[in-house]
Amino acid sequence: MKVKNICCIGAGYVGGPTMAIIAQKSPEINVTVVDINEKRIAAWNDPDVEKIPIYEPGLAEVVAEARGRNLFFSTDVDAAIDAADMIFISVNTPTKTYGMGKGMAADLKYIELCARQIARVAKNDKIIVEKSTLPVRTAEALKRILDNTGNGVNFQILSNPEFLAEGTAVTDLHKPDRVLIGGDLDTEAGREAIQALVDVYGHWVSDDNILTTNVWSSELSKLTANAFLAQRVSSINAMSELCEVTEADVQEVAKAIGMDSRIGPKFLKASVGFGGSCFQKDILNLVYIAKSFGLNEVADYWEQVILMNDHQKRRFAAKIVKTLFNTVSGKKIALLGWAFKKDTNDTRESAAIYVADYLLNEQAEIVVYDPKVTKEQILADLDYLGTRSEEENRKLITVVNSAQEACKAAHAVAVMTEWDAFKTLDWEAIYEGMLKPAFLFDGRRLLDKEALTALGFEFYAIGS
């Protein structure tokens, strides 16, 4: 079967970029991305392609090439479902904030709503693709909902988790390490559905990089990959604390161990803590699943990755307070960067949010500059924590348009996101404008310690 019409439900960080690349590489397939969020769809359709709602290097160019040709963004979910032979579900699956599994399990209500909507609308056979990250065995629940339509429609369910990282989404999608497709390998119809999706990726990904498995392995591989990646960050961050008390340097340690080909050099960068919408959510979900099968040791093992990460964020904030003579009350502290990593405007679970919250509890005045994050987003992130009133957040937080402005008359500066531009700031001028002693905290190992110390900064970097 050759796919002609694709619908993707969810025009977010995954649905938008993934579908843009599929459309770019497969001109004969019509791709319609739908969302209930009207503002988001309007932004995807903005005539000025630089105003699409997600900032990713290279994405605007891809959208400019395909949009209106075979890539469409719409709020008419029913129409897109009806027209599609293949439907990707790429809606959010956040950690539950209520009820059973609160704070741990993935909230699957958006997934279920999609399944019920597809069941209601579909009039002909369709392939449903799980693109969202889901607990292992979710396909079983989807199948039960879809098989009860009464319309005599047949559905094949595939799992096709997405491994792109934000900030490098376009290159990750153009050259994926692997594409993983899980499906029903035991039936002819299942194998045909898998082949149909293999053919879509086959437009630009070689066969060697497309891996097919059963559905459950595919679902679980996604949670496993994120757990392993996050575990590396927590492991090196644990070592960063030990380095600080032993005069070892975490960057040297990372290099030394990374040259062991069994360990490898990637994902060993000590930091103020990992953020992003995936790592914490997916590990908590893994912990929940393990617990629900009674596998308490497995659950405890992975939970430690999160506990270490929380500790790292707190420890960094506490270091600022301790260094500033045990009080930051009424002191101005500049945070450079708010996004959870460079080259994205995404702030979900960003370490900066938690460091700011800690410092605000210590009555600091916080000034933030991030090249891609809006003031509204920064305030919304803090309001969401519910630590203090919205009025108080607005009184204590200022958001400015340049790093220079943020650091003016500050007691301390903390680098929270590794934006390249922070490396080449006029640090001499920043030093001149700050109160003395001028404290600089590098939460990303971004800056040149020797050069900045020579300028006069009191310099602290994670892990040395």
Q: Are 18 and 89 in contact (CB under 8 A)?
A: no
Is 277 among the residues that bind ligand NAD (CB under 6 A)? yes
Is 343 among the residues that bind ligand NAD (CB under 6 A)? no
Is 170 among the residues that bind ligand NAD (CB under 6 A)? no
Site stretch for ligand NAD (CB under 6 A), options 3-11, 21-29, 308-316, 377-385: 3-11
Q: Which of 88, 201, 274, 302 binds ligand UDX (CB under 6 A)?
A: 274
Q: Which residues in 80-229 belong to E strands, given as ranges?
A: 86-89, 126-130, 155-159, 179-183, 210-214
Q: Is 26 a known ligand-binding residue?
A: no
Is 13 among the residues that bind ligand NAD (CB under 6 A)? yes
Tokens of 40: 């988001």
Q: Give the integer Cα–Cα distance in Å for 290 and 219.
A: 14
User: How many residues are recorded in the chain?
Assistant: 464
Side-chain-side CA neighbours of residue 339 (13 Å): 20
Q: Which of 60, 77, 87, 328 binds ligand NAD (CB under 6 A)?
A: 77
Is 11 among the residues that bind ligand NAD (CB under 6 A)? yes
Give 243-247 contacts, CB < 8 A, sequence gap 24+: 243/463, 243/464, 244/462, 244/463, 244/464
**Side chain identity at 460, as an amino acid letter?**
Y
Q: Give the integer Cα–Cα distance in Å for 45 and 338.
A: 27
Is 14 among the residues that bind ligand NAD (CB under 6 A)? yes
**Side chain identity at 134, as an amino acid letter?**
L
Residues 19-38 as x/- pattern, contact with ligand NAD by CB under 6 A:
---------------xxxx-
Closest to ligand NAD by CB, 77 vs 368, is: 77
SS (H, E, C) 15-66: HHHHHHHHHHHCCCCEEEEECCCHHHHHHHCCCCHHHCCCCCCCHHHHHHHH
Is 269 among the residues that bind ligand UDX (CB under 6 A)? yes
17 DSSP β-pair partners: none
Q: Is 348 a known ligand-binding residue?
A: yes
Q: Which of 30, 32, 95, 133 binds ligand NAD (CB under 6 A)?
A: 133
Q: Which of 6, 7, 8, 9 binds ligand NAD (CB under 6 A)?
A: 9
Indicate which of ligand NAD, ligand UDX, none lies near residue 267 (CB less than 5 to 8 Å, by partner kind): ligand UDX
Closest to ligand UDX by CB, 110 vs 267, is: 267
Burial class (CB within 10 angstroms; exposed 0-12, middle 13-18, buried 19+) of 292: middle
Is 233 among the residues that bind ligand UDX (CB under 6 A)? yes
Of 463, 459, 417, 17, give the one whose Cα is nearest residue 236. Answer: 463
Indicate which of ligand NAD, ligand UDX, none lies near residue 37 (CB less than 5 to 8 Å, by partner kind): ligand NAD
Task: Please give the positions annotated as active site.
Answer: 278
Sorted by sequence, the CB contacts under 8 Å of residue 163 that are 6+ apart come out as 172, 176, 177, 178, 180, 222, 225
Provide DSSP, 226-253.
HHHHHHHHHHHHHHHHHHHHHT--HHHH
Is 278 among the residues that bind ligand UDX (CB under 6 A)? yes
Would you give the DSSP letter of residue 207?
G
Q: Which of 40, 126, 341, 445 binds ligand UDX (CB under 6 A)?
A: 341
Closest to ligand UDX by CB, 13 vs 44, is: 13
Residues 86-115 as x/- pattern, contact with ligand NAD by CB under 6 A:
----xxxx----------------x--xx-
Which chain residues interact with ligand NAD by CB under 6 A? Answer: 9-15, 34-37, 40, 77, 90-93, 110, 113-114, 132-133, 162, 164, 166, 277-278
Residue stretches of the annotated binding site: 10-15, 35, 40, 91-95, 132-133, 162-166, 222-226, 262, 269-275, 278-281, 340-341, 348, 444
